[in-house]
Structure 1
Amino acid sequence: MYENSAAILNSLLASLSRVSSSDTPGIHIKQLANIILSVQPTAEERHFRYTIRMAYVYGQGCCYMGSCANFDDNFIGRSALDQQGMDLATRIAVTDAIYAGFPGSPQSTFSLDGSLAKRSRRRARLITEFVGSYASRKRGFTIGIVGVVSEFVKSFKEQGFNVIAFDLDPIVVGKIYGGVEVRHGISSFDDLSRCDVILATGMSLWTNTLATLVCFANAYDKPLLLYAETAAHLVPYLVGRGITAAIAEPFPFYVFGGDAVIRMYSAIQNLPHARGVICLPEI
C-alpha cells in the first residue's frame, strides 16, 4: 500500500498540494523547535530519552526522534505545502501541524490529570482497554507492541493477554519490561505473525517502519492500531487507509504540565476536501 513514510506523507499532502501558496496565505510555517526529553514516569517504566521536533501551522505538530538533529530555520515563513529539502522529522511535524486544523471526530475523549505516575497508569489502562476491544478473549491471544512502553505491557498482561514486544532502541532491546523480553525491530516476521493484534507507536513514521507494518497487517489480515504522540493530528486520517484504529495524544503530552488528552478513533476520518479541493481553515 505504501512504500515508506515519505509515501504516507505524500498521500496525505496530495490534495493539499493542489492549492497554491498564494491562495493560502495562512498555511505557512510559523514555528520550528526541538525539545530534548528525558523522563521516567514511574519506577517500573523505561527511561525515555528523545528529541521532539515541533512545528506550528494551524496547531502544534510533533515528531519524536532518537537523537537531537538540527533543523533549518530557513523553513520559517515558507508554505507548509512546500516540503522540498526537509528531513523526515520536519516533514512529519509540519504535516501534523497542518492536520491540526482538521480535528476529526473521535469515538471517545479522555483527560489525564494528577501526578505523572497516575497519568501514566491511567493512560496505559485506557489504551490497552481500547486495543483489547479488538481482541478475542480466547486463551493464548497475543498482542504485539511495536515501540515498548512498560506500563502497556503490564496492563495487557493484567487483562490476560500474551505480549510480544519489539523496539529499535539498542538500549531497550534484550531487556525485560513488564516480564517480557524486548525483541529487535520487526525484522522477524515469524514473531510478528504470532500476534493477533498489533499496536505500534506513531514514531514508526519516523523510523520508516510504519509502511512495512501496514503491508504486513493487510497481507495477514491483522488489526493494526497506532498510539500516537508523533503525528497525533494526522494519524486519525490513516484509519481505514492502512490502519484499523488510532489513539491520539496531541501536545502537551502526559509527561508535561497542563491538560493532557487521549482521543480514540475507530471510524474512517474523511479527508478535508470540498469539491475536490482542500478546505483550509481561516487564520
Structure 2
Amino acid sequence: MSRTAPASARAATYDELLARARAGGLGPDPAALRISVAFTTRQAVRHEGRGTGYRNEVLSLRLAEAVGSCAVEPGALPDGAVDDCAGADLARLLAHPVPAVRVAALDAYLMHVTPHTPDHGARPVALPAGTSLEKSRARAEAVAGLLVLPPGSTVLVVGVVNSLLEALRSRGLGYVPCDLKGGVTEWGETVVTDALAAAGRCDALLVSGMTLGNGTFEPLREHALRSGKQLVMFAQTGSAVLPRFLGHGVSAVCAEPYPFFWLDGGPGTLHRYRADLPGGTR
C-alpha cells in the first residue's frame, strides 16, 4: 500500500488544520490567493434496477489548477454563496460564516499545495468507464477494500450509499446504516440518525467526507482514536483535507476530487491513502 504523507503535514483536529491554513502555516499566504471560479453541481440519481434514488448538491471552488468541494443537503446553501466566493481571496473564505464554504476553500487550498500524488502519500486506483451503477460499484469496491476486518464484523456506515452496503455484504461484513435524513435502505433496513450513539456497537467506521461540512466528523474521529477502531473515509467532500488526519483517528481515505464518478461515463481515478494499522499491517 502507499506510503503516507509526512507527519508534519498532518493535524490533530479539523480546527487546528483550518487555523494553520489561515495563518499560512501549510503553504502560501491564503490572502494572496484568489478563487477564480465558484460553482454548484446538483444531481438526482436513480440507478437502473434500483428502487430508490437520491439527490446531491456540491459547492466547488477553483484555485488555479485545483478544485475543492463540499457537499451540502440540497437547498441548504444560502443564496448568493457562490457569488460571494467567486473572485474572493482564500483567507476570507477560510473564515467564511458558512461551514461548507470553509471546507471547500480548505480543500481547494490543500489540493493546490498537496495534490493527490504518490509524493504526498496517494496511491491511484483506476476507475473504469461504465454506467452510473457500474462506476458506483467500482468505487464501492475501492472504498470497502480499505477495511481490514474478519467476516462477521459490523461496520458503521455514515452516509448511506447502497453500493457500499453491497460491497460490505459481499465481504461477509454486517453494517449499521446511518444518515441524518434517516429512512430505510434499498433493502428496507432502518437507517439510524445518531452516528455516535451507534458507533459503540460497531467494530469499524466507514464515513462520508460530507461529515466535515455538517460538523459530525470530529466526534467520530475522536471515537475512533479513543477506541482504536478503523475509521475509513470516502471523500468527495474534503478529498485533500481528510488525508491530513491519518494517524489521528483516520486509518484510511479513498479520495475522489472533482469531477466525481457520477458526472461522466468515462474512466476516472480514485486516490487511496492509508495509515499503519494495528500490528503493522499496511
The bucket for the TM-score relative to the shorter chain is: 0.7 to 0.9
Where does residue 140 of structure 2 map in the other structure? Answer: 124
Q: Which ranges of structure 1 fall in alignment gaps of 5 or more residues?
A: 269-283
Correspondence 1:36 to 2:42: yes
Distance 1:99 1:17, change over 3 A: closer
Asked whether 1:96 is paired with 2:107, we answer yes
- Greater helix content: 2
Residue 273 of structure 1: aligned partner = none
**TM superposition shift of 1:129:** 2.0
In the TM superposition, residue 179 of structure 1 has moved relative to its aligned partner by 5.8
State the percentage of identical aligned residues: 23
Q: Distance in 2 between matches of 1:112 and 1:135?
A: 26
Give the corresponding residue for 1:10.
19
Structure 2 CA distance for partners of 1:239 and 1:14, relative to 1, 3 Å: farther
Provide the rounded CA distance (Å) in 2 between the counterparts of 1:166 and 1:118.
Answer: 23
Q: Which residue of 2 aligns with 1:77?
A: 87
Aligned length: 254
Once the two structures are TM-superposed, the CA of residue 135 in structure 1 deviates from its matched residue by 1.4
Distance of aligned partners of 1:73 and 1:224 in 2 relative to their CA distance in 1, 3 Å threshold = same
Q: Offset at 1:202?
A: 0.2
Cα 1:80–1:178 change in 2 (3 A) is same
Which amino acid in 1 is paired with 2:129? Answer: D
Q: Which amino acid aligns with 1:182?
A: V
The CA RMSD over aligned residues, in Å, is 2.4
1:41–1:120 CA contact under 8 A, matched in 2: no
Q: Does the 8 Å CA contact 1:202/1:227 hold for their aligned counterparts?
A: yes
Write the distance in 2 (CA, Å) between the matches of 1:249 and 1:41.
Answer: 20
SS of the residue corresponding to residue 183 of structure 1 reads: coil
The alpha-carbon distance between structure 1 residues 47 and 7, as it changes in their structure 2 partners (threshold 3 A), is: farther
SS in 2 for 1:181: coil
> 2:98 pairs with 77, 80, 87, which one?
87
Structure 1, 80-89 or 154-163: larger mean CA deviation: 80-89
Q: How does 1:43-58 map to 2 (within 5 A)?
A: 43-44=49-50, 46-58=52-64
Q: 1:158 to 1:179 in 2, by over 3 A?
A: farther
- In the superposition, relative to structure 1, how do residues 98 and 167 fare at CA in structure 2: closer, same or farther (>3 Å)? same
The one of 242, 262, 270 aligned to 1:262 = 270
* Equivalent position SS for 1:119: helix
SS of the aligned residue for 2:191 comes to: strand
SS, match of residue 182 in structure 1: coil
- Aligned-residue offset at 1:229: 0.5
Divergent runs of 4+, >6 A? none
Determine if contact 2:146/2:252 at 8 Å carries over to the other structure.
no
Alpha carbons 2:196, 2:220 under 8 Å: kept:
no
Asked whether the equivalents of residues 214 and 242 of structure 1 are also in contact (C-alpha less than 8 Å), the reply is yes
TM-score (ref. length: structure 1)? 0.81
Contact 2:127 2:139 in 1 (8 A): no
2:157 maps to which of 135, 139, 145: 145
Decide which of 189, 208, 220 is 1:213's aligned counterpart: 220
Aligned pair in 2 of structure 1 residues 21, 244: CA closer, same or farther (>3 Å)?
closer
CA deviations over 1:124-161 (Å, ceiling 9, x no partner):
12221222xx2134xx3111101111111111112111
Q: Distance between the aligned counterparts of 2:71 and 2:54, measured in 1?
A: 11
- Which whole-Å deviations, capped at 9, do the CAs of 1:195-254 have from their partners, x for residues lacking one? 111010000001100001011111111111100011112222221233111001111111
> What are structure 2's unaligned runs of at least 5 residues?
1-11, 277-282
Describe the superposition over 1:38-88 as per-residue Cα deviations: whole angstroms up to 9, x where unpaired: 112343374221221110113111111003322052443332123333411
- Residues 29, 79 of structure 1: 8 Å contact kept: yes
Pairing 1:240–2:247 present: yes
- The Cα shift of 1:178 comes to 4.3
Instruction: Check the 8 A contact 2:45/2:54 in 1, yes or no.
Output: yes
